[in-house]
Amino acid sequence: MALLKAKLDDAEKKIQQIQDKGTMVVCAPSQRSIKDRQNQEVKNIVRTIIQTEIWNEVKFVCNDDEAKVVTLMSYDHFKEQIPNSSLEEDEFVYYYATFVMTELNKIRTYVSGRSYKAYKNFPSADPKPTVLELEECLKRTINPTNPRFFQVFNWYMDKLLPLNTGTGTMFGESVRHYQTISMASPPGDALASSITIETEAYAVLNYENNLTKWEYYDTVLDDNYSDHKYKPCNRTKENEQKVDYEVVKEGEKSILRIYKKECRGKYTKADCGQSRYGGWTRAGLERYKALCTLAEQGRKSPNCEKLEEASLKQVRINHGKSAKTYEEEQNNKRKKPESSGPVDDNFTTFRFPKNRPRKQRAKAKTTGMDGTVGNYLGNDQSNVAKLPPINYNHAHGLSQTLTNAYPTFNYNHGTIDSPYGQQTPTNPGGPMPTTMAQMMQNNLRYRQNGENDDHESDMTTGDV
């Protein structure tokens, strides 16, 4: 809180300096010309700044002066990230003040909606946490030996708080499963705080504001409309006293418009959701300040460290965490390579001497069926693999196989010259009398002579 006050004081001084120059605009007008002058890259950077920096400290903007302060805080963070930017302070205020307010309201709406998941994730067999129990969580007065209160605090730490931050990584699993609430810092920024006092206070306020609505969603609507987007609305004259809710289409989305009083926020107004400062009532803002005080007291409580350490230990057990850091946990999950067998210096798969000259290449040699070894194309210097001629004495089995497959096939086409002498069909131990190449030549001759186009049939039913 002291740090925020110092920032507010510094921002007020800057505001006064700009006003003295006569260049300060209370808030950027919404004319199309102003919007057209906004730079998309600047807007993306500012949006990230709102999510990661501003939201940690500021949940509500109540008037124009606070709007100026938040806009200047955003500009300071912008200049830290883009020090060479030519965008001046007064220009930033003029063109982006409204954008800053809009993004802050968007985050608050986003957080409010997704926190319903935390409500649903509390064990269904047990009663949902009460607002008084969450106040005890803020104050750190819970005794870890009390099963019910300890269960609520573990849920508060592991489910509720992460959904009330500006980004999913701020207090994501890589953070909250290895660091306590008070000591946690977001990835890549050890000096920052993942969960500030303001974030804790807003988490409880958000829960309290929506509790009645969430109970109605859970018990009445979810069984039939869980795939719809819920949209609480005020009744109009057209639908007054007619229905409690109705389904409407907005593009491809199914919207459930809900008119029940139970679905109105305790501190918000449905018809003020698009207002400049978020539509929260004064009572809600006062409640937020009171919760901030409780959270600050809780951080200073002697029981704070003990309770947070006990909760972290239990949450880690629930999620099966054993490593001290997220990085170590990830390394342990990586598949370890299987250990190799013992090294044997005498074992090798090489078929050549290890001391062979590096440029020497092995010649491709084949073993003939007659037992001889050599190259069969007549070029001993060739390194191309060569096959020996068919040994017809050994090919008789192949001939018999073809004969069995094609019993009507006529193999009586004379003799064949081979390196082993003239072979004939009458040779009882002789080889297959013809080659496949000769069969193909005969087929080609039949096709050329037009004797029979269906030559494949002749191959299986008669002479070639």
> Which of 133-147, 260-274, 382-396 has the highest average model confidence (pLDDT)?
133-147
- Predicted local distance difference test score (pLDDT) of residue 35: 58
- Predicted local distance difference test score (pLDDT) of residue 264: 85
The answer, yes or no, to whether residue 10 has pLDDT greater than 60, is: yes
The answer, yes or no, to whether residue 426 has pLDDT greater than 60, is: no
- Predicted local distance difference test score (pLDDT) of residue 227: 87
Residue 377 — very low, low, confident or very high, per pLDDT cuts 50/70/90? very low
The verdict on pTM exceeding 0.75 is no
Strands ordered across the beta sheet of 245-250: 229-232, 253-258, 245-250
Query: Mean per-residue pLDDT for 248-257?
Result: 85
Residue, of 368 and 211, whose pLDDT is higher: 211
Query: Mean per-residue pLDDT for 431-459?
Result: 53
% of the chain at pLDDT higher than 70: 64
Q: pLDDT per residue over 12-35, tens digit each?
A: 666 566 555 544 444 545 445 555
> Which of 270-284, 310-324, 450-464 has the highest average model confidence (pLDDT)?
310-324
Are 160 and 203 within 8 A, CB to CB?
Answer: yes
Q: Supply 422's token pair.
A: 């003239």
CA distance 231 to 203: 21
Residue 458 — very low, low, confident or very high, per pLDDT cuts 50/70/90? very low
Q: pLDDT per residue over 110-126, tens digit each?
A: 999 899 999 999 987 88
Residue 460 — very low, low, confident or very high, per pLDDT cuts 50/70/90? very low
Q: How many CB atoms lie within 10 A of CB 114?
A: 13
Average pLDDT value for the chain: 78
- Predicted local distance difference test score (pLDDT) of residue 415: 47
Residue, of 192 and 251, whose pLDDT is higher: 192
342: Cβ–Cβ under 8 A, 6 or more apart, which residues? none
Task: Give how far Cα 346 sits from Cα of 63, 271, 340, 342, 358, Å.
Answer: 84, 85, 16, 12, 20
